[in-house]
Amino acid sequence: MNRLLDDLNRAQRLAVVSPSLALQVLAPPGSGKTKTLTARVSYLIAERGLKPWNIVVCTFTVKAAREMKERIKDLVGDGLEKKLVLGTFHSVARRFLVSYGHLIGIEKNFGIADMSDSRAIITRIIKRQGFSIEPGSAGARISSLKAKSVSAEQYGVTRKAAEQEFSIVYAEYEEALRTSNLLDYDDLLLRCALLLRQHPQCVSNIEAVLIDEFQDTNSVQFELMCLFSQFKKNVTIVGDPDQSIYGWRNAEIKNLERMEKRFPGTDVIHLEENYRSAGAILQSAQQIIEQDESRPTKALKPTFGIGDRPVLRKLPTADAEAKWLVAEIRRTQALSAELLKPNDFAILLRSAAVSRHIESALGNSGIPYRMVGGTKFFDRIEVKMVLDYLRVINQPDHNDALLRIINVPTRGVGDVTVKGLIDEAEKKGSTLWNIVLNIVQGKARSNTKLSTQGLKGLTDFVNLVLTGQKKITGTGDQQASPFELVEYLIKKLDLSKFLQKKYPDDYETRWANIEELKAQTADLTAAMAQGKQFIEEEVLPDIEGLEQRLINANEDALTVFLANIALSSEAQRKQEENPDETQQHVTISTIHAAKGLEWPVVFIPACYEGSIPHSRADDIDEERRLLYVGMTRAQALLYLSCPNKNSQSGETTMSHFLTQRGIEAFFETQGPKLYDDAVVELARTLRRDQPALQQLIKARSTYETPEDSHWPIDGTFPKSENTRWDQGREIESKEGIYANKRRR
């Protein structure tokens, strides 16, 4: 018990042991909300005797999920932690659907349509119908209707003629998912809610429900939370209204009030101290969030010393900005290669679209990096191609995956033939796979004309898929793992040669992606083999009259593997799963995907009007909160920057969030405050623990900017002869810089 509460402050402990059935922990960034939630889960198991499989936890990041598991393992012993019903809303919903979906007519081996699948289906429908609506906005509208539980039929009957196009797209989209036995992200949540409403006994065992990042739950997720907890009504949520950044995905900040109404007697606990960031970082972040006058005043209270003011820089061009940023990473790294590792750096972007310059600058300098939340690894053409083969092997009804690969590599099945196949499938109300199979096996007459070469190509294709299927349905040692299947495909498709021919210029990169895919498949295969050992009878309630099914237990490895991939963009799986030293990399992430995380050094480039706030955003306050979330990810050093010109729109103006009156006093605008000794010191300390970081920031409280704060953009930096430290001085005495800036 003591161990459990050891490193928590008083308010955090209160929250952990609170006997309240309904509890809200509301607190600013870095105040230990996720840590507290983790401790409460452990406490419920270790002290209150709850069984992990009776606890539902929805976390936003895999990091939080992993920490939670580690702690529980620590406290209550190996194995139990794996039995928590733990994951993102989507993955938890999926688990219920796999186990009990048959009760509402969902076929067991359903696949998941991720964002790009959905987009492809919608685009295809629009093209075929000759409509002029934009696929992206149609997709967003469908999603938002689904979030409000408005079905295609309901929508269709109430619409005027002008809306007809969209309502046809919506209806056909739903139909396409149905025939391919796919659920999209929204469906996972909605169908799970439907299931739990109609068959509440599926959650009769759930004793506690805990939700992280509650400010970003939408109304369906809120509904799910209520449904999970319908028997014991034991709910803990943690969140921060100032960090609500998913309005565009129909998150509803009103859920806090709704919770109080739904769960009378909800207790609220506030946490105050920030354990993440240096004081100067918090002060600058506070300046941003306070520009929203409508929000209640809340101060960020540092537990660290003041540290260095964040750097705010203007650079001539986006290219120069990228070079400057990379030079700064190199400089700090060169000084401290042993101590400050690539993993300690993050570059956070409002939109992944501006990453090009930065990626190429990092690439040129040989700094390893990884993109999160941008073009996903699994969406890269060559990776997606292999995955599409896996999808079709797993689920031949997956029309869209099949369409993408039917003639890749080229096998003489041209566009006209493909169109013929699609028409025929539609006419006969059949799936593409069945049409193709019939043609190859000569079982039914087909109107689709094929050249000899085309027929041979299709036959090869069908054989490849059928052999793959045999491999996964084999028993015992005969059964191929996803990893073995990937190897089989690479060989069968002669992928290396295909990529060499098709992409002579960047073959190496593409092949490296395939290697990476192999490595990831191997990892996942191993993890799944391990996980299976822990699936036991007790995981789900024994419901009378229901066949008792085990979570994942009856699924084959390939289905689980593909579901993991489909859900991974939601959970940023890859980025956090390999913190080990050999996989060191600088993280490039969207700010959205960085929620809940922290890094010693954070860069936020491209801070100009149109980027942040984004030109297409309609909620300025949300854009401001986004910048706030980004800034509060930094522990010790924060750099914001803005190019005078960008490649798309030419001249830029710095984000108005950063040009408010008086704000410059909170930033270092002239040059770097960090010089060599300081960097070494900082790096050394970062490798130790949090208190050491605190010591360091305190020690560095103030030191003067050298006169020559020249900061060239070509990557050469001044030596540090004139670094001076003034230990222990209070912030107010620092030439009055902060003295008159405290507001309210």
- Binding residues (CB under 6 A) for ligand ATP: these are 7-9, 12, 27, 29-35, 240, 243, 275-276, 596, 598, 690
Shortest gap between Cβ of 68 and ligand ATP (angstroms)? 11
Query: Shortest gap between Cβ of 591 and ligand ATP (angstroms)?
Result: 12
The nearest distance, CB 38 to Mg ion, in angstroms, is 10
DSSP 671: S
Q: How far apart (Å, rounded) are the C-alpha atoms in residues 249 and 253?
A: 12
**Min CB(57)–Mg ion separation in Å:** 13
Give the whole-angstrom CA distance, residue 364 versus residue 323: 10
Q: Kindly tell me which of 16 and 340 has the beta carbon lying closer to Mg ion.
A: 16
Nearest 10 degrees: Cα torsion 407, 411, 412, 416: -10
If contact means CB under 5 to 8 A according to the sort of partner, which of ligand ATP, Mg ion, none does residue 59 touch?
A: none
Q: Between 29 and 135, name the residue whose CB sits nearer to ligand ATP.
A: 29
CB of 633 to ligand ATP, least distance (A): 7
The CB-of-25 to ligand ATP minimum distance in angstroms stands at: 9
Rounded Cα distance between 408 and 385, Å, is: 8
8 contact, one of ligand ATP, Mg ion, none, CB 5-8 Å limit per kind: ligand ATP
Q: Which residue is nearest to Mg ion (CB)?
A: 34
Encoded tokens for 286: 């506070």
Contacting range for Mg ion; rule: CB under 5 A; set: 97-105, 194-202, 502-510, 595-603: 595-603
Nearer to ligand ATP, 691 or 712 (CB): 691
Dist CA 683 CA 677 (whole Å): 10
Q: How far is the CB of 590 from Mg ion (least distance, A)?
A: 17
Looking at the Cβ atoms of 61 and 118, the one nearer to Mg ion is 61
How many residues form the binding site for Mg ion (CB under 5 A)? 3
| Residue with Cβ nearer Mg ion (644 or 690) | 690
- Evaluate whether 300 touches 270 at the Cβ level (below 8 Å): no
Residue 34 is a binding residue for Mg ion (CB under 5 A): yes
* Spatial distance between the Cα atoms of 64 and 403, rounded to a whole number of angstroms: 38
CB 575 within 8 A of CB 370: yes
Residue with smaller CB distance to ligand ATP, 273 or 400: 273
* Amino acid in position 446: S
- 3-state secondary structure (DSSP) of residue 277: coil
- C-beta of 276 vs 331, nearer to ligand ATP: 276
Of 487 and 576, nearer to ligand ATP (C-beta) is 576
Nearest approach in angstroms of CB 118 to Mg ion is: 29
Q: Which does 613 bind (CB under 5 to 8 A by kind): ligand ATP, Mg ion, none?
A: none
Q: What is the C-alpha separation between 57 and 211, in angstroms, rounded?
A: 6
Short-list 306, 285, 358, 286, CA closest to 327: 358
CB atoms under 10 Å from CB of 132, counted, come to 7
Contacts of 73 by beta carbon, 8 Å cutoff, 6+ apart: 80, 81
Q: Are 543 and 201 in contact (CB under 8 A)?
A: yes
596 binds Mg ion (CB under 5 A): yes
What is the rounded distance in angstroms from the CA atom of residue 135 to the CA atom of residue 535?
41
Distance CA 369, CA 588 (A): 7
Q: Could you tell me which stretch among 31-39, 416-424, 438-446, 627-635 binds Mg ion (CB under 5 A)?
A: 31-39
Main-chain phi, psi angles of 315, to 5 degrees? -125, 155
593: left (phi over 0), alpha (psi -120 to 50) or beta: alpha
Measured CA to CA, the distance from residue 427 to residue 447 in angstroms comes to 11
| Residue 702, strand partner residues | 726
Beta carbon of residue 596, minimum distance to Mg ion (angstroms, whole number) = 4
Contact range with Mg ion by CB under 5 A, out of 34-42, 114-122, 383-391, 539-547: 34-42
Nearer to ligand ATP, 176 or 211 (CB): 211
Q: Which of Mg ion, ligand ATP, none does 149 bind, CB closer than 5 to 8 A by kind?
A: none
Query: Is the preceding peptide bond at 409 cis, omega within 30 degrees of 0?
Result: yes
Residue with smallest beta-carbon separation from ligand ATP: 32
Q: For 346, phi and psi rounded to 5 degrees?
A: -135, 145
Q: Which residue, 79 or 691, is less far from ligand ATP as judged by CB?
A: 691
Please report how close the Cβ of residue 239 comes to Mg ion at its closest, in angstroms. 9
Q: Using CB under 5 A as the criterion, which residues of the chain lie in contact with Mg ion when the complex forms?
A: 33-34, 596
